[in-house]
């Protein structure tokens, strides 16, 4: 029996007002690990603490197993999300290129290397899609993501149109890309609700999930140049378990952060902070509030 089936069975027992033990015995052999798994799917509000003080303009927390939203603030407000846009770009790249594909680093990267996060990719050398995606998501490297965008579509404008179209196809009704990196310029926006969808899709991709959880990495070009980099997420190696994360910052967007973390019994939650002046502190306040006020 799948976790989803267990969850539906639990709900049906409650709806029938049947004693849970008797209901389970009639319909499925009792297996304690399965029972525990079913319970994890049902976050219940058990506290009423009102001490969520955030600098963020928008925020959202959701339970991954059930999809239930546990906290929300302005979750449908359209706003720039800076490098969190790279989640959309990475998913679009995955639809169009194989991880083993080798692409050339184009001269256009020098423009984005002048400002923002980058790893100093050498023009004219070659790297794999996998290594470029890793640098894009772990170090938020604009030169790596731009390289991938041009490999997919030939121009950043065409890539942005492709990514926006793909986003609409998967239900991102409040998201538009103007470029591949999230750097300021053009008509681009998303919302906390759409970022929840983006992170959920990326987390379902085993390869992207590993990148979003990694604290550091090294890109080696085919010509032999080694470029080491570290995560932009300052919650890595803290008391907050990081199963996936993406940061983003521009002056227009403010500080942004989306993570997936887990609780003491393995329950997974996602949390989003947008338009903050102190994203890492906001994130700690938010997830601590959830652990104090919900039980699984």
Domains of the chain: 3-42 (no CATH), 58-295 (3.40.710.10)
> Do the Cβ atoms of 269 and 61 come closer than 8 Å?
yes
Share of the chain above pLDDT 70, in %: 85
Q: Which residue has the tokens 């319970």?
A: 39
Euclidean distance between CA atoms 120 and 117, whole angstroms: 9
Asked whether residue 20 carries a pLDDT value surpassing 60, the answer given is no
DSSP 74: S
Q: What is the mean pLDDT of residues 103-109?
A: 98
Quote the pLDDT of residue 184. Answer: 95
Query: In the structure encoding, which two tokens stand for residue 92, read together?
Result: 């679009």
Share of the chain above pLDDT 90, in %: 82
Euclidean distance between CA atoms 214 and 246, whole angstroms: 11
Euclidean distance between CA atoms 259 and 49, whole angstroms: 23
Q: Which residue has the tokens 């998967």?
A: 170
Euclidean distance between CA atoms 101 and 139, whole angstroms: 21
The dihedral formed by the CA atoms of 13, 17, 19 and 24, expressed in degrees to the nearest 10: -10
Going by C-alpha positions, the residue among 54, 138, 149 that lies closest to residue 111 is 149
Going by C-alpha positions, the residue among 244, 218, 257 that lies closest to residue 81 is 257
> Do the Cβ atoms of 237 and 77 come closer than 8 Å?
no
**E strand map for 169-243:** 216-220, 226-230
pLDDT tens string 140-152: 999 999 999 999 9
- Please, which residues bridge with residue 258 across strands? 246, 272
pLDDT band for position 6 (50/70/90)? very low
Q: What is the mean pLDDT of residues 107-125?
A: 96
> Do the Cβ atoms of 60 and 288 come closer than 8 Å?
no
pLDDT tens string 191-229: 999 999 999 999 999 999 999 999 999 999 999 999 999
Weakest-pLDDT range from 5-14, 208-217, 259-268: 5-14
């Amino acid at each position: 029996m799948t976790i989803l089936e267990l969850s539906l069975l639990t709900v049906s027992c409650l709806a029938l007002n049947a004693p849970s033990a008797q209901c389970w015995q009639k319909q499925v052999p009792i297996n304690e690990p399965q029972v525990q798994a079913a319970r994890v799917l049902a976050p219940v509000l058990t506290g009423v603490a009102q001490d969520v003080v955030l600098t963020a303009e928008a925020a959202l927390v959701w339970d991954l197993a059930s999809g239930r939203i546990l906290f929300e603030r302005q979750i449908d407000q359209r706003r720039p999300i800076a490098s969190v846009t790279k989640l959309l770009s990475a998913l679009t790249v995955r639809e169009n290129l194989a991880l083993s594909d080798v692409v050339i680093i184009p001269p256009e990267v020098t423009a984005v290397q002048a400002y923002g996060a980058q790893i100093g990719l050498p023009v004219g050398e070659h790297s794999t899609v996998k290594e470029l995606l890793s640098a894009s998501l772990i170090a938020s490297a604009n030169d790596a993501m731009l390289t991938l965008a041009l490999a997919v579509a030939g121009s950043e404008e065409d890539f942005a149109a492709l990514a926006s179209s793909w986003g609409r196809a998967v239900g991102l009704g409040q998201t538009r890309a103007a470029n591949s990196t999230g750097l300021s310029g053009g008509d681009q926006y998303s919302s906390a609700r759409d970022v929840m969808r983006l992170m959920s899709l990326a987390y379902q991709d085993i390869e992207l999930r590993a990148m979003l959880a990694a604290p550091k990495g090294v890109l080696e070009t085919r010509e032999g140049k080694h470029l080491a980099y570290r995560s932009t997420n300052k919650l890595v190696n803290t008391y907050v378990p990081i199963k996936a994360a993406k940061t983003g910052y521009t002056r227009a967007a403010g500080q942004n952060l989306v993570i997936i973390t887990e609780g003491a019994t393995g329950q997974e939650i996602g949390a989003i902070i947008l338009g903050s002046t102190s994203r890492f502190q906001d994130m700690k306040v938010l997830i601590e509030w959830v652990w104090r006020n919900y039980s699984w």
